[in-house]
Amino acid sequence: MTRLGHCCDTAVQTLGVCVACWVRDCSLPPMFVLGCGLARGRAARCPHLASSANGIAGALLPHGPTQKEGSLLGEKRSAMASAELGLSLQGTRESGADVRSANVTAVMALANILKSSLGPQGLDKMLVDDIGDVTITNDGATILKQLEVEHPAAKVLVELANLQDTEVGDGTTSVVIIAAELLKKANELVKNNIHPTTVIAGYRLAMRESIKYIQANMSVQVDKLEQDVLLSIAKTTLSSKFIGGDSELFSKIIVDAVKSVRVPGPNGKAKYPVSQINVLKSHGQSSSESVLVPGGYAIQISRGSQEMPTQVKPAKIALLDFDLKKHRMGMGVNIVIDDPEELERVRQKEMDLTKDKIKKIVDAGTTVVFTTKGIDDFAMKYLVEAGILAARRVDKKDIKRIAKCTGGTLLLTMADMDGEEKFDPQCLGSADEVVEQRVGDNDFLFIKGCSATKAATILLRGANEYMLEEAERSVHDALCAVSRTLESNSVVPGGGAVETALSLHLEDYATTFDSYEQWAIAEYAEALQVVPKVLAINGACDAIDLLADLRNCHTAAKKDPTKADQKWYGLDLMKGVVRNSVTAGVLEPMVSKLKSLKFATEAAITILRIDDLIKIAPDPEQQ
């Protein structure tokens, strides 16, 4: 037997003949040839067996292999081929329904954290990081930023909230909740054997139709409303925040601040850059003591010396990005001095260099100096003698904003192209007044009457750091919402009115399709109802009853022309009823709704497209 087996291997190796044909011609028992490893390997390449699903085993076994044997042979052959090509996977792999379910679970877990913080009755979250710092907030983007999210699909939602915060400023919580609900509904469709590509196509159709419907039917031009829309927008944004109790005061401060930084655009449209509004925090007193400093920029810093003036009128401001200190030789430069008198002259020359530099700045007409670096006592003496107000260690971000507001230039050096030092008076910024004032426990420098562009500063007061930080986040969201409203000139009703109207419209729109996309559009319509539902639950109301009333009002508005005003109806969570959101002043910028729908849909589609998750194993640590 051994000899015959050896002959079998040799015949295949030397002649390259087909094992099946060779067995048939030699009348050898089939089970004998199965013992020849080389023969089986060669037979797999035989043209006579190319059509056989199970390779050599199918040719040699009398009745073919069992299903288990065929599967094992197939896996072994695939592994051998991968190993030969160097394609072995070092890591773990999930695919199909498993990875989709895992993604939906991770995304829903993240959305469930945020759900209870949505709306005017939403609750706050306390987040404690690894070093014990506490953050108390109900802002969606801040909560997700603080969480250490590891799941790759959940990270998409974190980026989604940051994008909404950057683009619009408000609506970060609702955009995450809508995206998670869309993904959950899509996963149910896929489980019912509807292909993900079909679901994605349906979602895109629903999104486009939603945007058209909002622009055509749900938006209101700001100039057509009699009430002060900007105050209503600010109040609506602040209603869900910590400072909502003082919304009357803060909404007025915010609207005045945004209006004061109006910049004419090149195409005739005005811009309202929120970056020109500085928000400062100072401990002490209550939040109702917060004030707006109109037409000025403030920084939390004091003058360099108590002998300097506290007020300069008018101000010519020099902005420096270098220090004013006694001149020192460069690194690696040594001076060998034999005569002690020469040493004294070198020291005097170093002092004179700094004195000349300050003299050139003063001679240009400078009355105020801001530098991002330091000013030593020697330089301070000359500045005090010249009657200049100087501040050192100014934050780079602040000094750039001051340069933009006052029309000054931030100087990195005083050297010109010839190597000489000089100070150009054209680099000076100008303002009506620079004054130091004490607010609470801190000193502030106020730059009033900036010449180049408008600027404003909001000074927030509060009992502790947590309150001040949350107030700053709330004010930033409201500033962005008011700015977007002024730029787009369109608003939509709040309180879940837009989502309810869209849901009913998309249900009708879905019936116009006779393909599988109909199911995806219908599920999209149902997913949008999550916003009014969560609002009602957070307001301790009967969600089913309120949602039924709201849908009834919007259905009547579509069918009965005499009840057309009911399309503006949203939820009143204080009284647990439905009401006209427009007349009640519950308004949101239209751009916020459009962006949140686009971002949520794209995020859901991005995660839905994933059908394979491969985690590469880390390289083993070298010994």
The residues that are catalytic are 139, 172-173, 477
d(CA 55, CA 84): 18
32: Cα separation from own chain's centroid: 68
List own/partner pairs for 116-120 with CB under 8 A and 24 or more apart.
116/538, 117/143, 117/173, 118/173, 118/174, 118/177, 118/240, 118/531, 118/534, 118/535, 118/538, 119/240, 119/534, 119/535, 119/538, 119/539, 119/573, 120/239, 120/240, 120/244, 120/539, 120/573, 120/574
**Identity of the amino acid at 184:** K
For residue 328 the two structure tokens come to: 């020192």
Half-sphere exposure of 287 (CA within 13 A, CB side): 21
For residue 63 the two structure tokens come to: 């009745």
Give the orientation angle of helix 152-167 with respect to helix 97-115, to 10 degrees: 40
User: Please, what sign has the CA dihedral across residues 364, 366, 370, 376?
Assistant: positive
d(CA 425, CA 365): 7
The residues that bridge with 297 in the sheet, in sequence order, are: 447
Residues 6+ positions from 102 with CB-CB distance below 8 Å: 94, 151, 153, 613
199: Cα separation from own chain's centroid: 26
Query: Would you put residue 176 in left (φ > 0), alpha (ψ -120 to 50) or beta?
Result: alpha
41: Cα separation from own chain's centroid: 56
Element (H, E) at 557: helix 543-559
Residue 87 phi, psi (nearest 5): -105, 20
Q: 480: burial class by Cβ within 10 Å (0-12, 13-18, 19+)?
A: buried
CB 545 within 8 A of CB 577: no
d(CA 478, CA 476): 5
User: Which DSSP string corresponds to 579-597?
Assistant: EETTTTT-EEEHHHHHHHH
Closest CA to 482 of 119, 236, 249: 236
The length of the chain is: 623
- Rounded CA Rg of the chain: 36
For residue 159 the two structure tokens come to: 């980026």
Q: 505: burial class by Cβ within 10 Å (0-12, 13-18, 19+)?
A: buried
Q: 384: burial class by Cβ within 10 Å (0-12, 13-18, 19+)?
A: middle
d(CA 300, CA 306): 16
Count of beta carbons in the 10 Å neighbourhood of residue 389: 25
